[in-house]
Amino acid sequence: MNNGIKRLLRSRILLTALILALSVAACYSLPRSDALLCSLEDKYAEKFVIINILEKNSSGMEAVVAAENHPRALFEAKLETSEGVLEDEYVASRVSEKISLRLETALENFLTEKEPSYVLHTEAISKSIDSSDADMSVREFMEKKPSDEFMICVLLPEERKEDLPGIQDTIRKGLEDFSCIRGEIQIVFADAETMRDAGGFFAENAKFYYDYDRITKNAETVAYPFPETTVGS
């Protein structure tokens, strides 16, 4: 490669870096909520909306966020405007969404009501990952984080208790394509108020730990490790 081409390539790299730096700087000059959304949009080339503000102060903010094209894949994002640092869990939320969508199909085939009544939440235990590939597959995620685990929670009406063996078998079949993952499954049989509260909770929160235990404390929970599966994802 001659020196002219090398200089041209070097110039293009420097120009790209400069454009990115200016874009980031432009984000941080905005009001905190706008700066957080701007930073996420720059990183993932998607549009995002803030669902719930967790903390807001002079140095930045932390919020529950969702992409407009994936409104149920909630995740937490934190922007430190003073240090120019963005931390987010979008990739992990999208991976969890892939698992949930597969389980939803399986559950809706088993729960034969016209409008099946259940609440489903899937969550990676460790969500940090150095990647902006929001379309990452479950297997790719586990290759990068081989020690990670998932928590899957399914809330069902109390009258479904007698269907527990069938529900467990349905979940096992729904996970057959994800043999690379492990973790815990919780099947919760709850009254109508608990179901409603849990649904509202997961509509605004990305993580179990905030208030979930209080909501489900009087419900009957069957917890067990992921079943062994046979099909690679």
Amino acid residing at 191: D
* Residue carrying structure tokens 């001659």: 2
pLDDT at 209: 74
Q: Which pLDDT band holds residue 12 (cuts at 50, 70, 90)?
A: low
For the chain, which residues make up each domain, given as ranges? 27-88, 91-225
| Residues 40 and 90 sit within 8 Å (Cβ to Cβ) | yes
Which pLDDT tens digit goes with each residue over 33-92? 888 999 999 999 999 999 999 998 888 899 999 999 999 999 999 998 777 789 999 999
| Residues 210 and 200 sit within 8 Å (Cβ to Cβ) | no
Q: What CATH architecture applies to the domain 91-225? A: Roll (3.10)
The yes-or-no verdict on residue 180 having pLDDT over 50 is yes
Domain pair 27-88 / 91-225, same fold: no
Q: Give the H/E segment covering residue 92.
A: helix 90-110
Q: Which pLDDT band holds residue 113 (cuts at 50, 70, 90)?
A: low
**What is the mean predicted confidence (pLDDT) over 24-29?**
60
The pTM (predicted TM-score) of the whole model is: 0.83
pLDDT at 197: 95
The structure tokens listed for 134 are 């929001």
Q: Which pLDDT band holds residue 117 (cuts at 50, 70, 90)?
A: confident
If one looks up domain 27-88 in CATH, what number appears?
Answer: 3.10.450.570
Q: Which long-range contacts (CB under 8 A, 24 or more apart) does 59-68 make?
A: 59/83, 60/32, 60/35, 60/36, 61/32, 61/33, 61/36, 63/33, 63/36, 64/204, 64/205, 64/206, 65/36, 65/37, 65/40, 65/90, 67/134
Describe the chain by its helix, strand, coil percentages, rounded to 5.
45, 25, 30
Q: How far is CA 23 from CA 84, 85, 179, in A?
A: 12, 14, 40
Which pLDDT tens digit goes with each residue over 157-168? 999 999 999 999
pLDDT at 2: 57
Task: Report the percentage of the chain scoring pLDDT > 90.
Answer: 68
d(CA 122, CA 149): 11
d(CA 8, CA 209): 52
Q: Quote the Cα angle for 153-156-162, to 5°.
A: 115
| Residues 46 and 67 sit within 8 Å (Cβ to Cβ) | yes
pLDDT at 4: 54
pLDDT at 20: 41
